[in-house]
Amino acid sequence: MSLNATLFAMAVWFALLIWFAAAKIWPPLMNAIDERNKKIADGLAEAEKGKAALAEGEKQKAVMLKEARDAAGEIKLANEKQAQAQIDEAKAQAKIEADRLIAAAHAQIAQEQQKAREQLREQVAALAVAGAEKILKREIDAKAHADMLAQLKAQL
């Protein structure tokens, strides 16, 4: 139990171990830990930045989406307007065409009517002449009485 020179030998060994730990063990290990801590901190900061960028992008996306939707709405509206205009134009043209056709038909009908009337008139004139011939029992010179017949026709 008594103290002896082991004390000094052991102290030298202990001092050597302390030097070894301070020179060869502690710095590399602690550097690695610090470096990793820094890496983690950087990574977290990057993640935070990424998150902010994502939020910003999300916001931009919403704005762009709204713009696109508005533009699409406008285009749709314009299209609808144009379509309506085309329909209206087509309708107007159709109406004009119809009116024209109707007018033409009317004109034709009037012409036919006129023609029929002319014919009728001529027939009536001929009938009247025939009637008058029979009444007068004599032949009326159609040529001589053409004026009179024409007058008669006009009165009908």
Partner 1 sequence: MASSYESPSEYISHHLTNLKITTGEGGFWGTFNLDSLIMSVILGVIGLGAFWLAAQRVTSGVPGRFQGFVEIVLEFIDNTVKDVFPGDRSFLAPLALTIFVLVFMMNLMDLIPIDFVATFMHAIGVSHWKSVPSTDLNVTFAMSFTVFMLIIFFSFKAKGAGGFIHELFTAPFGSNPLLWIPNLAINIIELIAKPVSLGMRLFGNMYAGELVFMLLGLLGMLGGVYTAGSIVLSWGWAVFHILIIILQAFIFMVLSSVYIAMAHEHH
Which stretches of the chain bind partner 1, using CB under 8 A?
A: 1, 3-11, 13-15, 17-18, 20-22, 24-33, 35-36, 39
Asked if residue 125 lies in contact with residue 153, where contact means CB atoms within 8 angstroms, the answer is: yes
Q: Which pair of tokens denotes residue 41?
A: 């901190």
Distance of alpha carbon 50 from its chain centroid, rounded? Answer: 38
Q: Looking at beta carbons only, is 35 or 58 nearer to partner 1?
A: 35
Q: Looking at beta carbons only, is 16 or 130 nearer to partner 1?
A: 16
Q: Looking at beta carbons only, is 22 or 53 nearer to partner 1?
A: 22
Q: CB 43 → partner 1: shortest distance, Å?
A: 12
Q: CB 46 → partner 1: shortest distance, Å?
A: 16
Provide the H-helix boundaries in the chain.
6-20, 26-136, 146-155
Q: CB 60 → partner 1: shortest distance, Å?
A: 36
Q: Looking at beta carbons only, is 30 or 96 nearer to partner 1?
A: 30
Give the whole-angstrom CA distance, residue 43 versus residue 49.
10
Q: CB 45 → partner 1: shortest distance, Å?
A: 17
Residue 138 falls in which region: left (phi positive, over 0), alpha (psi -120 to 50) or beta: beta
Give the whole-angstrom CA distance, residue 14 versus residue 21.
11
